């Protein structure tokens, strides 16, 4: 059974009980009032017969007679006349006898069916004893009577009875009216209650609708009507707070699952990409070993060639393993050293080393002022070395490269731009992926393992910075590294120096 139905049932039960109590109370009060009034009438009718000696006087049932109790009354005359009530005089405990008058109802005479003796009298203030009872009619189809029996000290009893037909009719009409009014009131209350319950439960309907939408997957929905003055409003506020926490927990779970999936995909891709890179030098070493076993030790030239090949492949595999270990440590989030590092000096050293190792690729360092960051100087030097090595690996001899260092707002910027063949936009967006090569056919002797720029991205990210690459086919590739400054420059810090800026400084590396 729904909450609305239960509320209506409870409301109906309450109104039924309330109406029943009210009807019974009204009916009982009116009945008591009518019968009290009837008893008073019977007492008034009985009063003239309370004098001693009334038992010896005959009753005059119809007609007029002088009131013996009035001043100047003549003794010995008949008792006062009786109209429509039953009156009987008798000796206490004896039969009514013939000294009685029947009651008249609708032109017919009726007498109450009385017991031979009466019991249960209550003593009154005048010394008489009175009892009230209800008796049926002695005649078939006759009315019921309200009977008042008064026993006086001289030993006579006065029995007065009045038909209660009118009283019963009045009470019957009252019962019909109460039933009709109660039914109408019950129906009105139920209809009003249904409307009020529906209006009061409308916020719960909104809660139900919101819950259904949340169950369907929309965790952003919230319950309306957060009114702290109402119970439903407080419930809505509590539910919204709970839903917010559930959404946060679910989002964290989804994000964690996505990270696990991404990590699993990266791991699979990493294993798939690393396997051939490791297999290639191992296969070469195996080939040189097989050449040695076939008699290369007898031929000095073959022996030297085999040893040179083994050393070269071993060195290449050592670099690859070192790069893999570097990426693994960075992926694990191992803390890095944090000390002040002056980038212009660091880049100048890296450019000088690159010029010494490969003078075929000219390098120009451009900087206007010292730029300092907090970080690991060895890792940051590795960033610059890898960027310059990338120029040597992917551009022909004679390609010029610019290495710029400057401050931009709260960030230090290192830019390495070459004038080589460049890359497509899609290729430039993927250069930081592990084992990515823009030209899959490029020899590994020139193209490297494809981990240099991946290491750059991982180191920069560990320092709280970012790295990006832009390339235009035929116009070269530009890699931009951004790192937080150690001491933030004032608002609106210095602009990057241009080639025509008087403050521009070109540091030769040769």
Domains of the chain by residue range:
3-66+75-171, 228-334, 335-507
pLDDT tens digit string along 261-270?
Answer: 877 776 666 6
d(CA 353, CA 184) in angstroms, rounded, equals: 104
Residue with tokens 């069916």: 113
Q: Span 465-492, mean pLDDT?
A: 79
Q: Residue 187: which pLDDT band, with cuts at 50, 70 and 90?
A: very high
Position 441 pLDDT exceeds 60: no
The pLDDT of residue 443 is 43
Position 361 pLDDT exceeds 60: yes
The pLDDT of residue 154 is 72
d(CA 468, CA 431) in angstroms, rounded, equals: 9
Q: How far is CA 310 from CA 304, 321, 323, 448, in A?
A: 10, 16, 20, 18
Tell me the backbone φ, ψ of residue 160, rounded to 5 degrees: -125, 135
Largest CA distance in the chain: 181
* Residue 61: closest CA among 41, 79, 40: 79
Q: What percent of the chain has pLDDT over 90?
A: 14
Sort residue 333 into left (φ over 0), alpha (ψ -120 to 50) or beta.
left
Specify the higher pLDDT residue, 132 or 259. 132
Mean pLDDT rounded to a whole number for the chain = 77
Position 494 pLDDT exceeds 50: no
Query: Residue 403 pairs with which residues in a beta bridge?
Result: 365, 416
d(CA 307, CA 319) in angstroms, rounded, equals: 18
The pLDDT of residue 327 is 66
The pLDDT of residue 506 is 45
Token duo for residue 347: 């880049």
Cβ neighbours of residue 347 closer than 8 Å, sequence gap 6 or more? 365, 367, 384, 403, 405, 414
* Strand spans (E) along 343-394: 363-367, 372-375
Position 346 pLDDT exceeds 80: yes
pLDDT tens digit string along 292-334?
Answer: 666 656 667 767 777 777 777 777 677 667 766 766 666 666 6
Asked whether 227 and 233 are in contact (CB, 8 A), the reply is: yes
Q: Residue 444: which pLDDT band, with cuts at 50, 70 and 90?
A: very low
The pLDDT of residue 64 is 35
Fold equal for 228-334 and 335-507: no
- Indicate the SS3 state at residue 333: coil
Say which DSSP state 485 is in. B
Find the Cα–Cα–Cα–Cα dihedral 177, 183, 184, 188, rounded to 10°.
150
Please provide the CATH number assigned to the domain covering 335-507: 3.30.565.10
231 half-sphere exposure, CB direction, 13 A CA radius:
4
Q: What percent of the chain has pLDDT over 70?
A: 75
CA 161 to chain centre: 75
Q: Return the number of other C-beta atoms located less than 10 Å from residue 144's C-beta.
A: 18
Q: Span 98-126, mean pLDDT?
A: 81
Give the predicted TM-score (pTM) of the model: 0.45
Q: Helices marked H in 294-368 — which ranges?
A: 300-331, 343-357
Say which DSSP state 499 is in. T
Among 111-125, 341-355, 362-376, 406-420, which is the least confidently predicted range?
111-125
The pLDDT of residue 79 is 52
Pick the CATH number of 228-334 from 1.10.287.130, 3.40.462.10, 3.40.630.30, 1.20.1050.10: 1.10.287.130
């Amino acid at each position: 059974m729904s909450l609305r139905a239960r509320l209506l049932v409870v409301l109906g039960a309450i109104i039924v009980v309330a109406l029943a109590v009210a009807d019974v109370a009204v009916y009982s009060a009116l009945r008591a009032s009518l019968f009290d009034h009837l008893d008073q009438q019977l007492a008034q009718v009985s009063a003239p017969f309370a004098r001693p000696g009334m038992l010896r006087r005959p009753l005059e049932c119809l007609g007029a007679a002088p009131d013996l109790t009035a001043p100047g009354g003549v003794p010995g005359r008949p008792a006062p006349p009786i109209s429509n009530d039953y009156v009987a005089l008798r000796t206490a405990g004896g039969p009514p006898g013939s000294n009685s008058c029947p009651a008249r109802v609708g032109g017919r005479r009726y007498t109450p069916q009385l017991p031979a003796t009466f019991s249960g009298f209550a003593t009154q203030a005048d010394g008489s004893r009175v009892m009230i009872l209800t008796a049926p009619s002695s005649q078939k189809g006759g009315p019921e009577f309200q009977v008042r029996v008064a026993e006086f000290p001289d030993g006579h009893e006065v029995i007065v009875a009045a038909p209660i037909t009118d009283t019963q009719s009045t009470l019957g009409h009252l019962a019909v009216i109460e039933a009709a009014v109660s039914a109408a009131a019950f129906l009105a209350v139920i209809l009003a209650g249904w409307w009020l319950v529906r209006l009061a439960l409308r916020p719960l309907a909104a809660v139900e609708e919101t819950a259904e939408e949340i169950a369907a997957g929309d965790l952003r929905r919230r319950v309306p009507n957060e009114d702290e003055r109402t119970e439903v409003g407080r419930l809505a506020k509590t539910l919204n707070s709970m839903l917010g926490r559930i959404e946060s927990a679910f989002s964290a779970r989804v994000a964690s699952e996505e990270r696990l999936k991404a990590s699993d995909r990266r791991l699979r891709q990493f294993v798939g990409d690393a396997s051939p890179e490791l297999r290639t030098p191992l296969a070469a070493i195996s080939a040189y070993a097989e050449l040695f076993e076939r008699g290369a030790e007898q031929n000095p030239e073959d022996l030297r060639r085999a040893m040179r090949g083994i050393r070269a492949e071993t060195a290449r595999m050592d670099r690859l393993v070192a790069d893999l270990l570097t990426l693994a440590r960075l992926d694990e989030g191992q803390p890095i050293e944090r000390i002040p590092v002056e980038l212009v000096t660091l880049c100048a050293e890296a450019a000088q080393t690159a010029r010494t190792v490969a003078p075929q690729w000219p390098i120009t360092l451009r900087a206007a002022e010292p730029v300092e960051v907090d970080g690991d100087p060895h890792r940051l030097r590795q960033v610059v070395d890898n960027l310059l090595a990338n120029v040597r690996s992917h551009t022909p001899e004679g390609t010029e490269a610019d290495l710029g260092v400057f401050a931009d707002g709260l960030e230090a910027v290192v830019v390495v731009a070459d004038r080589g063949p460049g890359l497509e936009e899609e290729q430039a967006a993927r250069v930081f992926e592990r084992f990515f090569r823009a030209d899959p056919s490029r020899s590994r002797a020139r193209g490297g393992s494809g981990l240099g720029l991946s290491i750059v991205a991982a180191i920069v990210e560990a320092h709280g910075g970012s790295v990006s690459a832009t390339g235009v086919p035929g116009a070269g590739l530009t890699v931009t590294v951004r790192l937080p400054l150690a001491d933030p420059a004032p608002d609106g810090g210095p602009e990057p120096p241009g080639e025509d800026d008087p403050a521009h400084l070109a540091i030769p590396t040769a």
